[in-house]
Amino acid sequence: MKAVDFTNKNISVIGLGAMGTALARTMIKNGVRVTVWNRTAEKAKALSGEGAIEASTAKEAIASNPVSIICLSDNHAVRDILYPLEEILRGKTLINLTNGTPEQAREIATWLTAHSVEYLDGGIMAIPPMIGTPQALIFYSGSASAFEKWSDLLGLLGTARYLKEDPGLASLYDISLLIAMYGMFAGFLQAAALARANGVNALELTPLIISWLQAMTQTLPLNAKQIDTGDYELGVVSNLGMQTTAYENLIETCKTSGVSIDLMLPLKMMFERAVANGYSKSDISVIVENILTPAQANK
Ligand SMILES: NC(=O)c1ccc[n+]([C@@H]2O[C@H](COP(=O)([O-])OP(=O)(O)OC[C@H]3O[C@@H](n4cnc5c(N)ncnc54)[C@H](OP(=O)(O)O)[C@@H]3O)[C@@H](O)[C@H]2O)c1
């Protein structure tokens, strides 16, 4: 395959926190001419030593190039920066890699599209050191033509996956994956606290937790099928009645070890409610019904 020459490509990066810096630096290393702006100018100065062109305002940065990436703490900051710049933005492409909600993405997309801007919203499933590697998965949704036009540049940042025109979809995927991640962290933190309370080092337990979690992810495709079909007894090997009884031992062990059960109680309540409603023979996936209908579940 013919190597792409990036030396005639230009882009601006607005926001040079840990993530924006990684995005800008990766493109600079690949020969792209990157114009940068950050609210706190020191971060832009540091990157200019690596070849970035420093703009003195966000307006100047966006005006300099046909496409800009913006990556700030949140979408309130994004709106504060972009909305006063409608004249400068007209005819350009804006790629927003700030974490936000699907509704925020759709609102920003509506505003920008109304001002003749092509908009792509992105969700970064990576931490800064991963940027520039294939492990850095980045979801995009919004303008398909913008994705096609700038896919070479986006491909430098990681694995770029375009979803659909709905600009909120990248954020929806991002948020869903983050929710799954925080479930994992909650479990890890609870297990580590219990171990430490009993004199076992977290470092000793961690390789075992990793291989256990990896083994357990094998059940997820079956659970997903149960959720999609509504058949929660499909292929069940660990019924909820059994799991609810065993979960009580988890709670009891934490209590006698003097560690908090705050992270664990919501799941106990969900389990007990489902069992009381006659779902003891179902798989754990039946809990999704309680999540989907919280009003009913809280009765
Ligand atoms: N770091 C990660 O592991 C990671 C992973 C995936 C996604 N993300 C997402 O990437 C985005 C950036 O994260 P980060 O790690 O780079 O955060 P960060 O290091 O805390 O940097 C935040 C950036 O936002 C800027 N900013 C905040 N409020 C602003 C405002 N009102 N006006 C102008 N600039 C403002 C900051 O400018 P100053 O330098 O002037 O403060 C800085 O450039 C977030 O949405 C985050 O969720 C991060």
Ligand 1 center to 80 CA (angstroms): 14
Q: Is 37 helix (H, G, I), strand (E, B) or coil?
A: strand
In this prediction, residue 294 carries a pLDDT of 72
- Ligand 1 atom nearest 22 alpha carbon: 16
**189: its two tokens:** 């933190």
pTM value?
Answer: 0.95
Ligand 1 centre from 118 Cα, in Å? 23
In contact, 88 and 59? CB cutoff 8 Å: yes
Q: What's residue 1's pLDDT?
A: 53
**In this structure, which residue's CA is closest to atom 5 in ligand 1?**
127
| CA pair distance 247, 184, nearest whole angstrom | 17
Q: Whose CA is nearest to atom 3 of ligand 1?
A: 127
CA distances from 85 to 62, 73, 82, 90, 115 (A): 9, 19, 5, 9, 10
Instruction: Report the pocket of ligand 1 as residue ranges, CB < 6 Å.
Output: 15-20, 38-40, 43, 71-73, 77, 80-81, 98-99, 124, 127-128
pLDDT score at 8: 87
8 A C-beta contact, residue 191 and residue 205: yes
Cβ–Cβ < 8 Å for 106, 168: yes
The answer to whether the CB of 70 falls within 8 A of the CB of 81 is yes
Rounded to whole angstroms, how far apart are CA atoms 23 and 46? 14
Q: How far apart are CA 258 and CA 2, in angstroms?
A: 62
The pLDDT, as a whole number, for residue 3 is: 74
Handedness of CA 75, 76, 82, 83 (dihedral sign): positive
For the chain, 299 residues long, give each residue's pLDDT as a single digit of tens.
567 888 889 999 999 999 999 999 999 999 999 999 999 999 999 999 999 999 999 999 999 999 999 999 999 999 999 999 999 999 999 999 999 999 999 999 999 999 999 999 999 999 999 999 999 999 999 999 999 999 999 999 999 999 999 999 999 999 999 999 999 999 999 999 999 999 999 999 999 999 999 999 999 999 999 999 999 999 999 999 999 999 999 999 999 999 999 999 999 999 999 999 999 999 999 999 999 987 555 54
